[in-house]
Amino acid sequence: MFRVFSCLTAEHDLRLVGLAGIVCFLASLAAINLFHRAIATKGRSRAIWLATAGAASGCGIWATHFIAVLAYDPGIGVNYNVSLTVLSLLLAAGITASGLSIAVFNRSHWATCLGGAVVGAGVACMHYLGMWALEMPGHIVWSADLVAASVLLGMMLGGASLWVAIHRSGRSATLTAGILLTLSIVSHHFTAMGAVDIVADPARVINAMSLSPAWMAIGIANAAVAILGMSLAGAFVDKRAAERIAHMAHHDPLTGLPNRAAFATQFATVLDRSAAAGSGFAILCIDLDRFKEINDLFGHSAGDLVLREVSDRLLTAVQGEFIARLGGDEFTIIVQGSQQQTPGASVAERVLSAMSENLEVDGHRIAVGVSVGVAIYPHDGADAATLLSNADAALYRAKAEGRGTIRFFAVEMDQQLREKRSLQHDLRSALERGELRLFYQPQARTDGDVTGFEALARWQHPKRGMVPPAEFIPIAEESSLIISIGEWVLREACTEAASWPRPLQIAVNLSPAQFRQGDLPTLVHSILLQTGLSPSRLELEITEGVLIGDFTRALSILRRLKGLGVRIAMDDFGTGYSSLSYLQSFPFDKIKIDRSFIANVQSNHQSAAIVRAVIALARGLEVPVVAEGVETNAQLEFLSQEHCSEIQGYLIGRPSPIATYSGMVGRAESAQMVRAVA
């Protein structure tokens, strides 16, 4: 050890040693980042990223070595053999890429360490071949014990670096892996240099074609530029991916308008700014008139075209004011101005005017009107919830009074809120009266083989008839009735699935409220025991809403649920607050792509690109994907070509009582199978 220390301090220019360390660290970080890109991809893309990571680490090892050699003063002049110098660079890149490949393709603990050890061996090969490339009037005598120690250090630290890179996550893990890889290279080099003893040999002739130190410095500079270029390439790809994910999280894929998440952020900002300045603003809630009729008459594809055209017209009409699509045919506009009705009224009038002309969609002239409800801050509410509620009440009044109108909030509109409370009251007793029903929608592989069903709640009201889930589920969420309804759905679905002759999967949606109250894992466990359903057949679907808020508690509950043997699926991926950190924090068993993306894969390049990106991401994580809302053979063909795992939608089957699918669950004499039309 003293020999190594003495060599470093007495025989090296410490300024160049420091430079070698900096280059090594930056190259190691670049290599680890590129390595992570390789982990997240498949096929040809993975091979390209592995080669790039190998090249980055190889250039880093090579540059570190020769900068440190330039820092070394052996007491005699030194040149460099061109062929061996170039070969040492190629060996460093090739062997390192091989080690990274071992770790990527088999991520077990031993394979990860083996891959890192191969990277360390690549460091050793490069170093000793690089030392062999030295042209000088003398020869090297090696200290065998330090040679062995250098190789062992490089391999051990290389193994530790890749183990951390694969089995740990986050920026701290990336930094740690980069530091360990740096230590692998640096510790090997300077331990190996401590093993060097140069014996002068004036008779030895230096090859005239060898590189001088000046030319070697140019070569090192080129290697450093190559490392920088590969780092920038990786950073550019990461930036593009981050931009795409950010756009997915804050924009509606169909219309390109800001979505609910973006609206919530903008609304909070405007509210705070107005409160501080004592100014006012208007909230406009907009709904398309009879949009359901358009969908029923012309189909969902035509409905989507209508929504895109409406969005374009609204965007022009608002003249720079903030507009968002909250979902379905609901739009919201924030009009900043005064505390009077005038600014909101003028924008609302322009909206009505913009929608006065018919739309041309697929050769059909379609009349689409809008209704507008307006609430003014602070006159109609001083907080977000009140303002939105009152603007929504005004919208209901506009739709009730003939549609195609504008209504400003008035106190008497509270009657609509009382109607909502009446529905809430009826919902409280719906379970006791047996008014809730379970419908089932099949899920299948792209070849048509049914794999399971999703259980969906329906409410058969004695006076109102079938109440849409979009109406009563939000009310249940707001009033915590979702807790008892959720338990009923889970128990009924498990009881039903346990009776099927075929052991198909049964998927049940969980509400964020179920995670906040009670002991959900204990409830699931008791229902599984009572119904006799195998845990592996139960799939619990959650949305990002479960993870927003108390993330640590939600994650703990998910791990307990997974410990029971049930499967956990991420529903509606790509909407709302979707974040890659969720996929990194918990090993989901399935990802479900929201139907809003699938509906547009044939007509919208961005939607198709997003679907491909999610499928590729899931494939890299080795997680199956279910595409929701598959309604056409063209959509099925697209998903099949992209190797999507499973599909769900009207093409396979509509939500219906389980008796409709008795053949699929094995109750008929011969089990049926859905066959998709290619």
Task: Answer yes or no: are the C-beta atoms of 206 and 79 closer than 8 Å.
Answer: yes
Question: Of 201, 226, 251, which residue is a domain's last?
Answer: 226
Q: Kindly report whether the peptide bond that precedes residue 378 is cis, defined as omega within 30 degrees of 0.
A: yes
Task: Quickly tell me which residue has 């770790």 as its tokens.
Answer: 103
What total of structural domains would you count in the chain?
3
Question: Of 202, 226, 250, which residue is a domain's last?
Answer: 226
CB atoms within 10 A of CB 622: 9
Task: Quickly tell me which residue has 């090997």 as its tokens.
Answer: 188
CA distances from 118 to 96, 128, 160, 184, 398 (A): 7, 15, 12, 12, 71
pLDDT of res. 300: 75
Distance CA 341, CA 442 (A): 50
Whether 433 shows a pLDDT value over 60: the answer reads yes
Take residue 58 and report the two structure tokens written for it.
Answer: 């190889």
* DSSP per residue, 657-672: -GGGGTTTTT-SSS--
Q: In this predicted structure, which of 183-192, 195-204, 346-355, 588-597 has the lowest mean pLDDT?
A: 195-204
Whether 441 shows a pLDDT value over 90: the answer reads yes
pLDDT of res. 1: 45
Query: Residue 468 class from Cβ within 10 Å (0-12 exposed, 13-18 middle, 19+ buried)?
Result: exposed
Does 109 reside within a domain?
yes
CA-based torsion, 250, 253, 257, 260: positive or negative: negative
Question: Crossing angle of helices 605-621/213-250, nearest 10°?
Answer: 110
Same domain, 442 and 496: yes
SS3 of residue 453 by DSSP: strand
Kindly state the average pLDDT of the residues 158-178.
85
Whether 670 shows a pLDDT value over 60: the answer reads no
Distance CA 411, CA 613 (A): 48
Same domain, 531 and 574: yes
Take residue 565 and report the two structure tokens written for it.
Answer: 């043997």
Take residue 408 and report the two structure tokens written for it.
Answer: 């400003």
* DSSP per residue, 559-615: HHHHHTT-EEEEEEETSTT--HHHHHHS--SEEEE-HHHHTTTTT-HHHHHHHHHHH
CB atoms within 10 A of CB 94: 16
| Amino acid letter, residue 315 | L
Same domain, 458 and 405: no
Largest CA distance in the chain: 109
Distance CA 303, CA 629 (A): 14
What is the CATH classification number for the domain harbouring 540? 3.20.20.450
Task: Quickly tell me which residue has 């924030």 as its tokens.
Answer: 334
Task: Answer yes or no: are the C-beta atoms of 381 and 387 closer than 8 Å.
Answer: yes
The model's confidence at residue 672, banded by pLDDT at 50, 70 and 90, is very low
pLDDT of res. 671: 42
CA-based torsion, 300, 304, 306, 307: positive or negative: positive
pLDDT of res. 246: 63
pLDDT of res. 175: 87
Same domain, 498 and 603: yes
Same domain, 180 and 113: yes
**What is the length of the chain?**
678
Same domain, 322 and 428: no
Same domain, 59 and 207: yes
Domain boundaries, position 617: 421-661
Report H helices in 40-170: 43-71, 82-105, 109-132, 144-167
Question: Of 226, 252, 270, which residue is a domain's last?
Answer: 226
Same domain, 633 and 594: yes
Whether 548 shows a pLDDT value over 70: the answer reads no
Whether 26 shows a pLDDT value over 60: the answer reads yes
The model's confidence at residue 333, banded by pLDDT at 50, 70 and 90, is very high
pLDDT, tens digit (0-9, with 9 covering 90-100), for 448-492? 899 999 999 999 988 888 888 888 888 888 777 889 999 999 999
pLDDT of res. 656: 94
Kindly state the average pLDDT of the residues 640-669.
89
Same domain, 376 and 425: no
Distance CA 539, CA 452 (A): 10
Does 564 reside within a domain?
yes
The model's confidence at residue 529, banded by pLDDT at 50, 70 and 90, is very high
Q: In this predicted structure, which of 75-84, 319-328, 458-467 has the lowest mean pLDDT?
A: 75-84
pLDDT, tens digit (0-9, with 9 covering 90-100), for 234-282? 555 555 655 566 667 788 888 889 998 899 989 999 999 998 888 889 9
Does 74 reside within a domain?
yes
pLDDT, tens digit (0-9, with 9 covering 90-100), for 210-232? 555 545 555 555 555 555 555 55
Distance CA 620, CA 566 (A): 22
Same domain, 652 and 631: yes
Task: Quickly tell me which residue has 């049914």 as its tokens.
Answer: 450
pLDDT of res. 297: 65
